[in-house]
Amino acid sequence: MPPIASVDVPASSANLGSGFDSFATALSLKLRAELWHGDEAGIVLNARGEGAPRDGARPDDNLLIRAFREGLRISSAPGAASWRLDVSSMIPSARGLGSSAAAIVAGVVLGAAVGRRAVEADELLALAAHLEGHPDNVAAALYGGFTLALGEVDGRVALRRYRVPEAWIPVAFIPQRESRTEEMRAALPATVPHDAAARQAARSALLATAIMTSDAGLLRDAMADELHQPYRLPRLPGSANLIELAYERGAAGACLSGAGPTVLAICDSPTSAHAVEKAWNAAGVPGMATRLRFDTAGARLVSE
């Protein structure tokens, strides 16, 4: 017997250099969640791989369960029911690849799938962004491709989704060490100089232009950053060197993925992608370089 519903959700890389807390892209690493009728009252979670709760964590603290409950609520699902969630994930946690966003999107999508009321995609995005605290990763995980997401003060999310340039290839270096988003956010200053903010605004506009026109030649300038990388990189041994090494080997753009420590390179040919991957794996930083694909479909739901 198949599950009631299942969903595949991609990993995501946010910030993209100058696109701090706004630009993100979906990547081919996946989280899969299946919903079944349970044998006991409430919600039971069976998780393996990167999606598994840490030792000692209470099930109700799991992001996917919390998001599933919210999906049930927003869709007016029956109150008394027994559910089982089976989760497996390829997305490394605490590495800047949107593992939390993927769990949240999976939960709200599955919860909404079994309710009495059809839930629009923009409602799911707003709910997921509220649970995550910001909309960038969840927008890419939900919609796929490159996304620009802006959280409005009234809870709405202004969204623009961009087509992925066909020639662009993402390469990621995923370190062994973890990095907590809250710690990396604490490293940021409360204010930045006005001229730095002005340059950043111009670079983020250039980033949108590069994506819309498939002009990889703009990426190095477009992905330069003054808002978060200068403050986070000193806390992430090896990451700054990996970014420079990517450019030396022909990457069109390179940056921290999210809050790090993963580094993302965007290459515009298989030759440069191979060169970056090879150089990173030989760099002596504990971890692994891997060539990925951009995910263009986002969260994919299958309902019985």
Which DSSP letter does residue 60 get? G
Note the pLDDT of residue 272: 98
Note the pLDDT of residue 183: 84
β-pair type (42-49, 82-89) = parallel
Domains recognised in the chain with CATH numbers: 5-163+295-303 (3.30.230.10), 169-291 (3.30.70.890)
The DSSP secondary structure of 236-293, one letter per residue, reads STTHHHHHHHHHHTT-SEEEESTTSS-EEEEESSHHHHHHHHHHHHTS--SEEEEE--
Note the pLDDT of residue 180: 82
Q: What are phi and psi of 73, to 5 degrees?
A: -65, -45
Note the pLDDT of residue 116: 86
Note the pLDDT of residue 55: 46
- Measured CA to CA, the distance from residue 224 to residue 244 in angstroms comes to 12
- Measured CA to CA, the distance from residue 221 to residue 214 in angstroms comes to 14
Count of beta carbons in the 10 Å neighbourhood of residue 276: 29
The per-residue pLDDT string of the chain (304 residues; one tens digit each, 9 = 90 and over) reads 789 999 999 999 999 999 999 999 999 999 999 999 888 778 889 988 765 555 445 556 689 999 999 999 999 887 668 899 999 999 999 999 999 999 999 999 999 999 889 899 999 999 999 999 999 999 999 999 999 999 887 878 999 999 999 999 999 999 999 888 788 888 999 999 999 999 999 999 999 999 999 999 999 999 999 999 999 999 999 999 999 999 999 999 999 999 999 999 999 999 999 999 999 999 999 999 999 999 999 999 997 6
Count of beta carbons in the 10 Å neighbourhood of residue 83: 23
Closest CA to 219 of 208, 229, 230: 208
